[in-house]
Amino acid sequence: MQTAEIRRRFLAHFENAGHTVVPSAPLLFDDPNLLFVNAGMVPFKPYFLGQETPPWDTATSVQKCVRTQDIEEVGKTTRHGTFFQMNGNFSFGDYFKAGAITHAWSLITSSVDDGGLGFDPDTIWVTVLHSDDEARSLWKEIAGLPDERIQSRGLLDNYWHMGVAGPGGPASEIYVDRGPEFGPDGGPVVDEDRFLEIWNLVFMQEEITNVRAKDQFDVLGDLPNKNIDTGMGLERVAYLLQGKGNLYEIDEVFPVIEKASEISGRTYGKDHADDVRFRVVADHVRSGLMLMGDGVTPGNEARGYVLRRLLRRAVRSMRLLGYDDPALPELLPVSLDRMKASYPELEADFPRISQIAYAEEDAFRQTLGKGTQIFESAAIAVKDSGGTTLPGEQAFALHDTYGFPIDLTLEMASEQGLAVDEEGFRSLMAEQRSRAKADAKSKKGAHADTTVYRAALDANGPTDWLAYTDLTTESRVIALIAGGDSVPAIPAGSIGEVVLDRTPFYAESGGQNADAGVLTWDGGRAEVLDVQRPVRGLVVHQVRVLDGELTLDQQLEAAVDPEWRLGARQAHSGTHVVHAALREVLGPTALQSGSYNRPGYLRLDFGWNSALSPDQLHQVEDVSNRALRADLPVSAQIMSLPEAREWGALALFGETYGEDVRVVEIGGPWSRELCGGTHVERSSQIGTLVITSDGSVGAGNRRIEALTGIEGFDYLARERDVVRQLTDILKTQPDEVPARVRDLVERLKSAEKTAERMKAAQLLGAAGDVAATAKDVNGVAYVGHHAAGAGGGDVRTLALDIRGRLRDRPAVVVVIGDAGDKPAAVVALNDAAQERGLSANQLIGVVGDKIGGRGGGKADVAQGGGTDVSAIPAALAAVEAALSA
């Protein structure tokens, strides 16, 4: 049974049982604790935590998930995969244990002809929490399982909680017996390879606190509503139903292995080391495809770094399989072909996805070249010192800076006849992981306490939000909050939070800043500093009370600053215009990946792999301003999400949308986006649009900044003033300014080159005098010279010139310059000095120790730099002392 068919059957089973089918949330879900969604219940977490009221009593989903903590283990076991899909069914105070067990048993044991998965009931085992007699009885009653196939386990295995205070409860796990060829008999408590877990049913029934460990916490009592949260691993079920040995061989993954085998000439299944590499390739290519499909672009931090690491590990694994040509253009389309059945949006978006992926591989191939040079220098240094092992810190630096895995470093070291200090490398890796875990732990529990906001919402209902239509409202204070608690009043001079029954203020969202304005009442006034939605349906204003005292139930006027709102509308509509212009000029793959706007200013991030040329930027700006001049109508409509997608509306990557969405159009289909922001009524009201910058914000992602409205006119006026000043200084016309400036710059460069040549001539002219100062140190002619004002190139030239004048005897020359208040040192030895066993590479280390730096090179010439100019005399003396020893 194909994976997509298993997915379809799961959703159909629960939809037929009355569950609402909830689409998968994007992998970039907004959760302060997570880089990516890593479990099927994550999108439902606010409902389980009581932060929001669920819109359904029961739901089902197949959630895209990514787990990154075991990337190094991918391919080595049958269990570790980066991207996976979690089937789940959820009950929010509706059915409980009996319902969950009934639904699960029916799906897994019903025949294929009847829409089930067709597992043999005699192969099913389950585990329950040792104290959960109710679950044990229900499994016997509903499924007819005998006692010996219902095994008890402790809290570590069969109790679920989030690791923080909140809901928890016993779990019951469903296992399939794969047969005696996979291990010993005795159920999952004996062997979890033979008895493979496919489904975990969580019975959320208790409120816990003081969580100290997985099995150490205190139970406060029963939850008011008992909930169900289940998770079935789609890939695990697939490889069982497809008769495969592991998740890498299922229909959605194995075709990539087949293609990798074809182009590399290696055969899967013959060599364990190669098999691991094939599996890494298949897993990481699919994971990368899904991450890029949800808007992640490669980078050096957070989510971008995870994607970069996955893609580069796939490329490196292909290299270790003997394939040195670009691999992703061969492999990524194969993964797309297998995944588009479940995620058809990938095919439509593949031009953008492939552009990002292929550019990242190209960049990594260049990085590999640079890293290889670093490795070769380190290898030469080890050999020159008589060593045979590359230090662990250098292997770690290659891994951390250039993305070299240890297996690649081991391979390269072996080619050089060297070993690698793997223990030292792994120690440094362990330190890094410990720091990462400590950081993650410090962030755990970052879920905001929304109790006070929930109480306000429950007591008064949703805020009557009028930001689309009004600038002022007559409102009543229904809640006041300070320090996380409800308060009866906020005195003058204090900052607090205010909840009104109705408001015209826009709450920050979708990249648009919150409105500014004031609240006024009889005898008082407060400045609105920020506006947020801490829970769905509730608008909260952060204010500073300027006069009087703000009290509960106070009647007041809420007024948005009209100039602020006008500037915000211009900037947000301008963002949509620039996005449409980019797509018109660059093509449909130039999709927005993020934005920010405030009055008069907009910033738009979009997927693109190279800097925009001046002509392209001019075209984007020209298309944008022509759209303004065309006075295009701007409209907004509410529709269902499927209708919006059918209509061609663009959605922002990483955003989570409800069932009904707001679609904003500018000029009809020219610009059609999902958006909750405030906008002008016609494009001409934007005023003007001036692009001020274009820059990179990571591989495959660029950022355009622009000004709108009066801010745009002010910018152009300042530019005009700069040109006017230049024409006055240069005594020329505005259109002649660029040529005159270029001429001046060329003349300045020529003068600088002349000065440099004169300076070099002076230095070299002094070479003879400096060589004459050579002193005999232990039978070696030693010259230690401080070349005041000299930079690195001049220092090297001078040192080699002096060495050339000392051919008649062993000679060591050390020259240190101080240009820019930074020491630049060169050590040069002639052949006779080297025959005495001396090495420039060793002596540069003596210099570096003194001047606060480092260096390297070969036995005849080495160079380096430092930070302490005052230590130059001490460095020269230290070399002399080393020669005397």
pLDDT of residue 440: 46
CB 550 within 8 A of CB 477: yes
pLDDT of residue 163: 81
pLDDT of residue 164: 80
Residue 800 burial (C-beta neighbours within 10 Å; 0-12, 13-18, 19+):
middle
CA atoms within 13 A on the CB side of 156: 1
Q: What distance in Å separates the CA atoms of residue 348 and residue 369, rounded to the nearest whole number? A: 34
Q: What distance in Å separates the CA atoms of residue 559 and residue 562, rounded to the nearest whole number? A: 8
Three-state secondary structure along 633-679?
A: EEEEEEEEHHHHHHCCCECCCCCCCCCEEEEEEECHHHEEEECCCCC
Domains annotated on the chain, with CATH: 3-244 (3.30.930.10), 254-376 (no CATH), 457-560 (2.40.30.130), 565-718 (3.30.980.10), 766-884 (3.10.310.40)
859 secondary structure, DSSP code: S
In angstroms, what CA-CA distances link 449 with 18, 45, 51, 92, 165?
32, 13, 8, 21, 11
Strands of 592-598's sheet, edge to edge? Answer: 592-598, 601-607, 701-708, 689-696
Query: Which residue intervals of 296-391 are DSSP H helices?
Result: 302-320, 328-339, 345-348, 350-384
CA atoms within 13 A on the CB side of 227: 31
pLDDT of residue 656: 61
Q: What distance in Å separates the CA atoms of residue 738 and residue 855, rounded to the nearest whole number? A: 43
**Residues contacting residue 743 through CB under 8 Å, at least 6 positions apart:** none
pTM of the model: 0.70
The CA angle 95-96-99, to the nearest 5 degrees, is 65
**Residues contacting residue 453 through CB under 8 Å, at least 6 positions apart:** 481, 499, 534, 535, 538, 540
SS3 call for 708: strand
CA proximity to 526, closest of 563, 577, 490: 490
pLDDT of residue 446: 41
Q: What distance in Å separates the CA atoms of residue 524 and residue 132, rounded to the nearest whole number? A: 59
pLDDT of residue 449: 65
pLDDT of residue 699: 63
The CA angle 290-294-297, to the nearest 5 degrees, is 90
pLDDT of residue 79: 67
SS3 call for 286: helix
Q: What distance in Å separates the CA atoms of residue 102 and residue 138, rounded to the nearest whole number? A: 9
CB 204 within 8 A of CB 229: yes
pLDDT of residue 142: 97
Q: What is the secondary structure of 567-593 as a DSSP string?
A: HHHHHHHHHHHHHHHHHHHH-TT--EE
Q: Is 65 annotated as a binding residue?
A: no
CB 488 within 8 A of CB 552: yes
Continuous segment of H or E residues that includes residue 115: none
CB 841 within 8 A of CB 813: no
Tokens of 431: 């330190």
| Alpha carbon 187 to its chain's center | 40
**Residues contacting residue 522 through CB under 8 Å, at least 6 positions apart:** none
CB 205 within 8 A of CB 222: yes
- The phi, psi pair for 561, rounded to 5°, reads -60, 115
Instruction: Give the residues of the chain that fall short of pLDDT 50.
Output: 440-447
Q: Is 786 annotated as a binding residue?
A: no
Q: Is 675 annotated as a binding residue?
A: yes
Looking up tokens 């009055």 gives 599
